[in-house]
Chain A
Amino acid sequence: MSEHGLPADVSRRQMLLRSAAVAALAAPAAGLAAGCAAGSGSSPKTNPSTSGSTGSGAADPKNPFGVKDSDPLDVYVFKGGYGDDYAKAFEAMYKQQHSGSNVTHKGSQDVTGDLQPRFNAGNPPDVIDDSGSKQIKLDVLNKGGQLTNLDKLLDAPSIDDPSKKVRDTLLPGTVETGLLGSSMFSLNYAFTVWGLWYSSTLFTKNGWTIPKTWDDFMTLCATIKGTGMAPFCHQGKYPYYMMVPLMDMVAKNGGPDAQTAIDNLEPNAWKSDAVKNSVEALYMLVDKGYMLPGTEGLTHIQSQTQWNQGKAAIIPCGSWLENEQLAATPADFGMAVFAMPSLSGDKMPATAIRAGAGEPFIVPAKAKNQAGGLEFMRIMCSKAGGASFAKTANSLSVVKDSITPDIAASLKPGTKSSNDLYTAANGQIINWYYLNWYSAFATDLENAMSQLMANKIKPDEFITRAQAAADKCAADSSIQKFKRPTT
């Protein structure tokens, strides 16, 4: 077991799919400690109006945290699917505003290994992207009093418009994701959109149109198969990729009721028509031979590369796909994404998609240059920051309206397409909680999915197994249970 520190892209996948999750998970868990968090946080500083009247320099909208140019800034970034070039771009912006300040940068994957000793020694960096499989859990840090309350960031004036607070410049859901108790302790910066990805060049060339309904989709698959190309491939080695389209369909078909039942582990939640319709629809891809042969055993890189090479037309993924496949994508590929096609009787519109904030940034409580760390985040939350992230990390950020038409024109095609998809969704966002709350349950579902995709079980048995897994989880008293928020 000495070798388990190993390579594995797996960990990065994990972080990408679950980064939003981690933060979200931390929120309810810390809810228990909310009482004491609120108690200790009730110092005058958390209230912007009082700090504004008492503090002398704090009123300056250009420098609300009182950053001293002479103080060095220490930045630590998890170097995962988004790379760390984007952070270097933020650092350049910071240096420009605070000329003369010395910024040190470190991008790495082993967050715990690098930073746990520094936290213990009281010498942490000033701002950290605490993400990946070796993330230091946020609730643990918070419990140890290691996190700066970011409410003062949220209430600071925005760089773009000092009459607005930073809080109002972020996409809905961002603050909630970072809550521990009643305050935000992490800024979840990357905005991820999930869907079905295709090459627009290929589609245009063949005159294929984006399917709106599942029937259209099946017709399209038949057409694609007729040309000798496999219509669909997926990252079969990691079955959670295929859980995303399935659960998107369930959410769309069953609406909030089906989602609440599943997230709350209610009896017979998986026996609903929404689940049945969705599983049967998805199984058609296997049953009708629309899958790339062997795709059920491919890793994410293998399958995505096959897709890039035109061996298969469509693949499910999140919006990190473009950056991940940068080297493998042909120049004229025209990467684009569409929403899961709708089933008849859907309760959510066809444009609804899954999307969420991830990649938690924190400022340690014992940071030497806490003001600098907060200012760094304020720069991230500016429109220029969001635009820079879109360009350097090829992904969307949580900064509202940062993608202006001229920036959109210069974006990579996949990022632009996911931005369009999010805009078109018009607030109809799919969210599942069970994935973050009950990982053992999620693993059971993935196991069943692997068998469905390998055509070793049929939809009926998948549903039976899913329900059994849910019942097992519900009956396990050692697992802490949560309730899906009603909105």
Chain B
Amino acid sequence: MRLRKKTRERLFIASFLAGPLAVYIIFVIWPYIETFGYSLTEWTGVAPPSKVVGLKNYVDLFHDESFRHALWHNIFLLIFFPTITIVLAMFFAFMLNVGGRRGGLGGVRGIRGSGVYRVVFFFPQVLSVAILVILFQALFETNNAGFFNGILIKLHITDANHPWEFLNSNTFVLWCILFILVWQWVGFYLVLFSAAMQQIPRDYYEAALLDGAGRIQTYFKVTMPLLWDSVQTAWVYLAVAAMDAFALVANLTPGSNFGGGPDGHGEVLATYLMRNFQTAGKAGYACAMGVVIFFITLILSLVVLRLTRRERLEY
């Protein structure tokens, strides 16, 4: 029997995808399914689960105040982190690529020294999180030996007996984390947006310039709309990163076993999950948390993609 052409084509493609798909199922999908299974049990994490408790972990989660606090902290990051990062990265990318004074190729070029800035802005991306942690620990040190506090005290902005608390402040700990996240990621999205901007044909800018458009108008009427795909991608990635923020919070905020302090004010879902999983011996409960975080992130990505869907312009 001869298969229809379309079916044969599909089989041909599937034969190539079988390997990667198997790897994906074994190492990604299956662990998710397992996590869901474990979330229905009472499990200490060091010995096989002792009993099935159904949805009890999820019910407990619903009543867990610490979990709710952590969720709100992630939502805080979710609102501010992508917004600030994208706005800054877009601004810098624009300045580096088309923000310069007139002249140059087709009347469009970046500001003076843009090549240097591009490299400098990318630096934070090259640093590993371990180095970031050490760096910001020294910058945010809470006594007069700290970098920021040292300056603040020298300038008499703060009193040497009451240095700023930074990461140890109930109020500002999340802002400090936000600051570091933005600092860390702006450079990456700057490069992403730069690449996208360079794809935009120069004639568009020339035309805009000829029509008498200023820098701001060019930005909003030409650059922004044509970068929409990149922004959409950035938004999804940044939203996922905001739901995580594990490494920085676990290492920089006060508290033993994955930070989260002071007194829970720096806690995010990922650190709360890990503390339950590894320290408190509540691995089943932590798995339930993992499942909830998975769905939140999934829904979030879908919502972002759906809301930002636009007609695509080919050039």
Contact = CB atoms under 8 A, between A and B. Distances in A.
Nearest to B165: A297
B141 A302 contact: yes
Contacts of A139: 46
Interface string B269-301: 010001100011110010000000000000000
Contacts of A239: 254-256, 261
**Which of B244, B246, B257 has the most C-beta atoms of chain A within 10 angstroms of its own C-beta?**
B257
Interface in B239-268: 244, 246-247, 250-251, 254-257, 261-264
A456 B182 CA distance: 29
Given A3-B129, A293-B163, A294-B141, A450 B263 contact: yes
Given A447-B261, A450-B254, A456-B170, A295 B143 contact: yes
Contact of A238 (B130, B251, B254): B254
Given A296-B168, A448-B263, A6 B255 contact: no
A479 B170 CA distance: 29
Contacts of B255: 237-239, 443, 446-447, 450
Contact of B274 (A4, A14, A137, A240): A4
A294 B146 contact: yes
Nearest to B246: A1
B95 interface: no
B25 interface: no
Contacts of B280: 439-440, 443
Nearest to B264: A447
B70 to A, nearest CB: 13
Contact of B257 (A10, A137, A448, A479): A10
Given A6-B250, A7-B133, A439 B279 contact: yes
A106 to B, nearest CB: 23
A289 interface: yes
A4 B143 contact: no
A454 interface: yes
Interface in B132-176: 133-134, 137, 141-146, 149, 160-163, 165-168, 170
Contacts of A236: 142, 168, 254
B47 interface: yes
A450 B259 CA distance: 12
A487 interface: no
A407 interface: no
A7 B141 CA distance: 18
Given A294-B143, A294-B163, A297-B142, A137 B46 contact: yes
Contacts of B142: 236, 294-298
A284 interface: no
A140 B257 CA distance: 21
B229 interface: no
Contacts of A440: 279-280, 282
Contacts of A10: 251, 256-257
The bracket for how many chain A residues form the interface is 35 or more
Nearest to B57: A478
Of listed A8, A294, A447, A478, residue having the most chain B CB within 10 A: A294
A184 interface: no
B256 A294 contact: no
Contacts of B257: 10, 14, 439, 443
A237 B254 CA distance: 4
A149 to B, nearest CB: 21
Contacts of A105: none
Contact of B144 (A293, A443, A450): A293
Contacts of B282: 440, 478
A239 B257 CA distance: 11
Contacts of A311: 143, 145
A292 interface: yes
Contacts of A137: 46
Interface in A419-445: 439-440, 443
Nearest to A241: B256
A471 to B, nearest CB: 15
A450 B265 CA distance: 11
A179 to B, nearest CB: 18
A182 interface: no
A297 B254 contact: yes
A13 interface: yes
A139 B133 CA distance: 34
Interface of A: 1, 3-4, 6-8, 10, 13-14, 137, 139-140, 143, 236-240, 289, 292-299, 302, 306, 311, 439-440, 443, 446-448, 450-451, 454, 456, 478-479
28 contacts: A1-B246, A1-B274, A3-B246, A8-B133, A8-B250, A8-B251, A10-B251, A10-B257, A13-B256, A236-B142, A237-B254, A238-B256, A240-B256, A289-B161, A293-B144, A293-B162, A297-B165, A297-B168, A302-B145, A311-B145, A439-B279, A443-B256, A446-B256, A447-B261, A450-B254, A450-B263, A454-B168, A456-B170
Given A237-B168, A293-B162, A450-B262, 17 more contacts: A4-B274, A7-B133, A236-B254, A237-B254, A293-B163, A296-B142, A297-B165, A297-B166, A297-B167, A440-B279, A447-B262, A448-B263, A450-B261, A450-B263, A451-B263, A456-B263, A478-B282
